[in-house]
Amino acid sequence: MDTDFGMSLTITMGERFGSPTNGWPPSTEYVHPFLVIIVRSIGLERASGFFDAARQAYQREQEVARVGGFQLGFPTYLSNRLGDEEPTLALTAAWEAIKAVHALVGQRDSEADFEQYIDCALAACAREMTALV
Query: Is residue 50 a contact partner of residue 82, using CB atoms and an 8 Å limit?
Result: yes
pLDDT band at residue 133, thresholds of 50, 70 and 90? low
The answer on pLDDT for 5 being more than 60 is yes
- Res. 87: pLDDT tops 70: yes
pLDDT at 3: 65
Task: Determine contact, residues 8/39, Cβ cutoff 8 Å.
Answer: no
Distance CA(58)–CA(112), nearest Å, equals 14
Say whether pLDDT at 78 is over 60. yes
pLDDT digits (tens, 9 = 90+) for 23-61: 788 899 899 999 999 999 999 999 999 999 999 999 999
pLDDT at 1 over 50: no
Instruction: Provide DSSP, 80-100.
Output: HHH-S----HHHHHHHHHHHH
